[in-house]
Amino acid sequence: MEKSKLQSFINRYYLAGNCEAVILNENESGVGCELIDMDQTVVGKLQWKTTSFMKGELGINHTGALMKMLSAMGENINIDVQDAAGKNYAMKISEGSTKATFMLADTTVIPAVPSINAEPPYEVTLPIDDEFVSKFIKAKNALPDAKNFAVQVQGGVIKFIINYSTVNADNISFEVGKADADVSPICFSADKLKEVLVANKGDNGTMHVSSQGLSRIDFTGADFDSNYWLVQLQN
């Protein structure tokens, strides 16, 4: 197995430490998982299109520790999932003479991920391309303490505002396209969107925004399909 592909999959749910615990599941397309961050402001569903290296489910409770173990390995690794009494309890990771054992968690201790059933209508849709990713990350890096970004449509123009506030405050804004109807500013986590963009960099994406306080971001690539839902922040 290519270690870099596994790390890339993990990065898509780990989001730079915002989601430590997930359940990996074997499916007909490879390996999938669902995620919810510790602040419960982002939910996600991921699919790694690969030959599965596991059977059933793997409970990952300390992703940071797993990433550190992987960093000690070369690129071509072997993974052997250990099981007893029908439950997976450890991952044996090896590369040449270097070997590691990562203990798995009981899946019942992993936080449950709520289902997104009836999604609201999305008034705003825009492509997530290299230009958008670059603009957003540069703006967020310029305002590292900014907790939110707002999506606003005024006069049919979609505008992103980093560090939106109803009072005077430092902010950076840029325009990203057109929409049919005006939408009042809706705020989401700037940190979470940045980590989602970084983790999925290079894949084609689309962002949808609803005035009812939900945003969905979809990415499709050769190896991964990723879907995230951001929940509106209350100012």
Contact by Cβ (8 Å): 90, 102: yes
For residue 129, the 8-state DSSP code is -
Question: Can you tell me the mean pLDDT for 7-21?
Answer: 97
Q: What angle do CA 73, 74, 77 make, to 5 degrees?
A: 80
**Average model confidence (pLDDT) for the chain?**
96
* Alpha-carbon radius of gyration of the chain: 19
- Structure confidence at residue 35 as a pLDDT band (50, 70, 90): very high
Which CATH superfamily includes the segment(s) 124-231?
DNA Polymerase III, subunit A, domain 2 (3.10.150.10)
What is the DSSP code string of 167-215? SS---EEEEEEE-SS-EEEEEEEHHHHHHHHHHTTTSEEEEEEETTTEE
- Whether residue 234 is predicted with pLDDT greater than 90 in this model: the reply is no
- Whether residue 235 is predicted with pLDDT greater than 80 in this model: the reply is no
Instruction: Dump pLDDT digits (tens) for 144-173.
Output: 999 999 999 999 999 999 999 999 999 999
CATH fold of the domain at 3-109: DNA Polymerase III; Chain A, domain 2 (3.10.150)
Provide the pLDDT for residue 116: 83
Instruction: Dump pLDDT digits (tens) for 180-201.
Output: 999 999 999 999 999 999 999 9
Comma-separated ranges of CATH 3.10.150.10 domains in the chain: 3-109, 124-231
pLDDT > 90 in the chain, percent: 94
